């Protein structure tokens, strides 16, 4: 019989944990059994790429230390990330969440109104970071399920869509089964209901969602920083703060086309690569004429091109 090898201090003192929250210079880690605070060693910080946030929720890290004080010594390379251009910088990526399989893009049918262009942007960021984008259209109680379906159909959103209401609970089971056993991140504009949805899925957790607060009725509790919640059957969900802008940052126009199947899957154009804007012999423009490429899709594509350029 094989004898277990002699005690290696690194086996007990150097373990892997998941970042559940980032609090300035310190982090909250999930060690598989409980959450614990930890600091980040300088060498972990300096080893990270300067182009990306050095630590993000969902990161897997190696730690040293004991029950008293845990320290992150290194951050593992990310399997996937959801990032956007950091404010005030064109080339630094702020990583909202790491290592999730899917990005659940939360939108609402009303209050705030549904904006297909934002769904495209999030889908682009998800695909770029190696995550599968899924749409969760919330607040169907403010309209009807059928009308919500029409919003998505008319915009020709190419994603798997879940329709739900965090208030009535309609569709919540569909979302639950979409999340079960997977690692996901919820993204979307402020006020669409991300936290409210999670408070229905994790009733035991204290999740502050944006009810009007205070005597004046003004001031909303919005999520201040990303946080990870654990699913009982395995997997986790990361709640993120709503962002006002979703700049897609530096990207080639051919990447933009990838988010629109009607454009991406169009027959080859005469010139390649083709920006499908002004080039002669463009099959996408022909498709818009003949109706195989919906006009709404083409217009959203053109709007994104204005941001990335066609050079
Ligand atoms: N009618 C209706 N209201 C909802 C629903 N879901 C959430 N709300 C309300 O929408 C508001 C915003 O909800 P939050 O869960 O805080 O939204 P959020 O997406 O987490 O917002 P941020 O944290 O700012 O990104 C709150 O007043 C909720 O009560 C829903 O399904 N139907
Ligand atoms: Mg929130
Ligand atoms: Zn073309």
pLDDT over 70 (residue 200): yes
- pLDDT value, residue 208: 64
CA of 104 from ligand 3 middle (Å) equals 30
The reply to whether ligand 1 has any atom less than 6 angstroms from the CB of 167 is: yes
Work out the average pLDDT over 191-216.
75
* CA atoms of 190 and 222, how far apart (whole Å): 7
Work out the average pLDDT over 160-188.
96
The reply to whether ligand 1 has any atom less than 6 angstroms from the CB of 172 is: no
CA of 111 from ligand 1 middle (Å) equals 9
Question: Nearest 5°: phi and psi at 62?
Answer: -100, 145
The reply to whether ligand 1 has any atom less than 6 angstroms from the CB of 22 is: no
The reply to whether ligand 1 has any atom less than 6 angstroms from the CB of 308 is: no
The reply to whether ligand 1 has any atom less than 6 angstroms from the CB of 191 is: yes
Work out the average pLDDT over 215-234.
73
Work out the average pLDDT over 200-210.
75
Average pLDDT, the chain: 87
Could you give the domains of the chain?
12-75 (2.40.50.140), 82-239 (3.40.50.300), 253-308 (1.10.40.50)
- pLDDT top residue among 298 and 48: 298
Residue keyed to tokens 């379906």: 149
- pLDDT value, residue 282: 98
Task: Convert the pLDDT of each residue in 252-288 to its tens digit.
Answer: 999 999 999 999 999 999 999 999 999 999 999 999 9
* CA atoms of 269 and 221, how far apart (whole Å): 50
What is the reported pTM? 0.91
- pLDDT top residue among 92 and 116: 116
- pLDDT value, residue 209: 64
pLDDT over 60 (residue 161): yes
């Amino acid at each position: 019989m094989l004898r277990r090898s002699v005690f290696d201090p690194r086996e007990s003192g150097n373990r892997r944990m998941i970042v559940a929250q980032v609090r300035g210079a310190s982090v909250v880690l999930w060690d598989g059994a409980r959450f614990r605070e930890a600091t980040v060693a300088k060498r972990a910080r300096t080893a990270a790429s300067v182009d990306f946030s050095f630590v993000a929720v969902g990161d897997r890290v190696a730690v040293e230390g004991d029950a008293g004080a845990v320290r992150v010594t290194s951050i593992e390379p990310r399997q996937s990330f959801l990032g956007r251009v950091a404010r005030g910088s064109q080339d630094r990526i702020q990583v909202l969440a790491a290592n999730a399989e899917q990005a659940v893009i939360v939108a609402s049918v009303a209050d705030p109104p549904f904006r297909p262009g934002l769904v495209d942007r999030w889908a682009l960021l998800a695909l770029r970071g190696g995550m599968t984008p899924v749409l969760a259209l919330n607040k169907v109680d403010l309209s009807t399920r059928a009308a919500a379906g029409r919003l998505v159909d008319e915009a020709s959103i190419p994603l798997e869509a879940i329709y739900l209401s965090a208030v009535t609970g309609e569709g919540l089971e569909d979302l639950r089964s979409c999340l079960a056993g997977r690692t996901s991140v919820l993204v979307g504009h402020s006020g669409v209901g991300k936290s409210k949805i999670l408070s229905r899925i994790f009733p035991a957790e204290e999740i502050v969602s944006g009810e009007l607060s205070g005597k004046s009725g003004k001031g909303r509790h919005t999520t201040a920083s990303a946080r990870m919640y654990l699913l009982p059957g395995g997997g986790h969900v990361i709640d993120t703060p709503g962002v006002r802008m979703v700049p897609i940052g530096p990207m080639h126009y051919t990447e933009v086309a990838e988010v629109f199947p009607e454009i991406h899957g169009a027959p080859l154009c005469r010139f390649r690569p083709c920006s499908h804007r002004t080039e002669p012999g463009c099959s996408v423009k022909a498709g818009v004429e003949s109706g195989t490429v919906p006009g709404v899709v083409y217009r959203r594509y053109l709007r994104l091109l204005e941001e990335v350029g066609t050079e």
